[in-house]
Amino acid sequence: MKLRQRIKSMNDNTVAFIGAGNMARCIIGGMVNTGYPAANIIAANPSRPKLDALAADFGIVVTQDNLLAVQKADVIVLSVKPQLMGEVCRQLIAGVPDISEKLFVTVAAGLPVSRYEEWLGPVRLMRTMPNSPSLVGLGVTGIFASRCSNYEKSFVDSMFSATGKTVWLDQENQINDITAVTGSAPAYFFYFMQAMAQKAELLGFSPDEAHQMVVQTALGAATMATQSSLSFADLRAQVTSKGGTTHEAIETMRNAGLELMVADAMQAAIRRAEEMA
């Protein structure tokens, strides 16, 4: 198979993105910024403006023709909305004779490998779950591989490492788990930050002051956690003296059932992901 023969230089592979929206843009940006040759990246999208912006910003090849992009590519990244995926796959299988030679990577939420196999046949496929901080190079992407070689896995690992960290999953249903842990999670933090900013405003700080203080504190706490080998519990204990103000606040959260509430919320996300599959 074409991709597997190119062991020597990963950068030789041509990668086509079908759907040139937000997620495609952030993966393409990560790849180009970490040295992947722009000439080996193609983006296909029905409308011109996103393509023109990608060509101007990253120097990649762009086209409005999905089939042309796929014919030229070794790796196909399916980056359209889940509800359009069936239509796109059917178009590709009808128009590209050597489709089984290609490696497929999907970023779509919810759709299981079995659904792609119905559309495309028994292709080599990686199902991924990136999260939105990939847009700023601080993402986490869960990856499950079906029928793929180690070479193909390391190729896809390097693609997504350009947007943050990768986590390899042994079982496909772990995609639902990682959706709860990282995929949906930026919104949990935003919600917590929103609640803190609301209270700061009630205390008399301006909306801008409240926003800045909460963002800076979240960034500071996350950076401390990044730079420390301590567990979250130990980091928290370090800044919580018994009988002090932080202790009082944490006990209020504990007594209100924060840990159970977070676990329930994550379980609800998993349940919803299972329903959507």
Q: Residue numbers of the site for ligand NAD (CB under 6 A)?
A: 18-24, 44-47, 50, 66, 79-82, 84, 88, 107-109, 130-132
What is the distance between the alpha carbons of residues 90 and 143, in angstroms, rounded to a whole number? 24
If the CB atoms of residues 28 and 44 are measured against ligand NAD, the closer one turns out to be 44
Using Cβ positions, the residue closest to ligand NAD within the complex turns out to be 21
Shortest reach from residue 234's CB to ligand NAD, in Å: 32
Shortest reach from residue 246's CB to ligand NAD, in Å: 33
Shortest reach from residue 67's CB to ligand NAD, in Å: 10
The 10 Å CB-count burial string (b at 16+, else e) for 219-251 is eeeeeeeeeeeeeeeeeeeeebeeeeeeeeebe
Would you give the distance in Å from CA 193 to the centre of its chain?
22
If the CB atoms of residues 134 and 200 are measured against ligand NAD, the closer one turns out to be 134
If the CB atoms of residues 44 and 269 are measured against ligand NAD, the closer one turns out to be 44
Q: Where are the alpha helices (DSSP H) in the chain?
A: 2-5, 22-33, 48-58, 66-72, 82-95, 113-120, 150-161, 174-178, 185-202, 207-227, 232-238, 245-255, 258-276
3 state DSSP class of 17: strand
If the CB atoms of residues 46 and 59 are measured against ligand NAD, the closer one turns out to be 46
Shortest reach from residue 85's CB to ligand NAD, in Å: 7
- 107: exposed, middle or buried (Cβ count in 10 Å: 0-12, 13-18, 19+): buried
If the CB atoms of residues 3 and 70 are measured against ligand NAD, the closer one turns out to be 70
Shortest reach from residue 108's CB to ligand NAD, in Å: 3
